[in-house]
Amino acid sequence: MIRVDIQSKNFGATPVLGSIRFDVSNGQTIALVGPSGIGKSTLLRIVSGIDSDFRGTVVRPEKQAVVFQEPTLLPWRSALENLCIIHPNLPKDRALDMLERVGLGGMAALFPGQLSLGQQRRLSLARAFVGAPEMLIMDEPFVSLDAQTGRAMLTLTKELIAETGPATLFVTHDIHEADVLADRVLKLQAGPQGAILAV
C-alpha cells in the first residue's frame, strides 16, 4: 500500500502543501479533487517519488506506474517499443496482447505522432498496466478527450484496475469519473500553511 505523511511542501518561500496524511491500500482507488492551483499535481509528484523536496515521508511499493495529463511517450519509438523500453524483460507477445487490449491492435509499429490524442492516452495506459503495477498514479488521465473517447477510456481503466489491483491515486475535475473509479474521494482545500485535506 501507499502511506503518505507530508508535513510541508514549499516552492521557495511559498507554502503549497501543509500537513497531509492518508493511506491507499492495495486494490483501493482514491480520487483527489480540489480547485485549480491548490497543489494536486504537486502532491502526485511527491507521492510518485518524482519530487523528493518536501518535509515528511511517503512509503510506496516497488512496482510503480504514473500516467500524466500529457502523454509522455517517446516520439521516435513505435507503440510497441514504447512499452518494451520501460519493461525490458517483457515478452513481446504480452506487449502485443496489451496493445490489443487497449484498442491498439494492429498499431504496434506506429509512432506516437501517428496516433490520435485518445490513442496516445490508450498507449500510456497500456504502458502503465503492462508491468502489473502495485501502485498507480494518474493526473487527469481523461482530460480533453471527447465525451465518447473519455467514457470508453474510463471503462477500460476501471477494468484494468480491477484485474491488476494496484493502490491507485488519481486527480480528476470530473465528479462522474470519481464516482465510477474511486472508493474514496479526498479533497484538497486551502489552509493557513498550504493545502490540507478537507474533512
The footprint of ligand ADP (CB under 6 A) covers 11, 16, 34, 36-42
Query: Which of the listed partners (Mg ion, ligand ADP, none) does 16 bind, with a CB threshold of 5 to 8 Å by partner kind?
Result: ligand ADP
38 Cβ contact partners less than 8 Å away, ≥ 6 residues apart: 188, 189, 190, 195
Interaction of residue 173 with Mg ion, rule CB under 5 A: no
Kindly calculate the radius of gyration of the chain based on its CA atoms and give it in whole angstroms. 17
Query: Which of the listed partners (Mg ion, ligand ADP, none) does 38 bind, with a CB threshold of 5 to 8 Å by partner kind?
Result: ligand ADP
**Shortest gap between Cβ of 6 and Mg ion (angstroms)?**
16
Q: Please provide the DSSP assignment of 72-132 as one string.
A: ---TTS-HHHHHHHHSTT--HHHHHHHHHHTT-TT-TT--GGGS-HHHHHHHHHHHHHTT-
**Shortest gap between Cβ of 168 and ligand ADP (angstroms)?**
17
Interaction of residue 174 with Mg ion, rule CB under 5 A: no
**Shortest gap between Cβ of 186 and ligand ADP (angstroms)?**
12
Tell me which residues touch Mg ion (CB under 5 A). 40-41
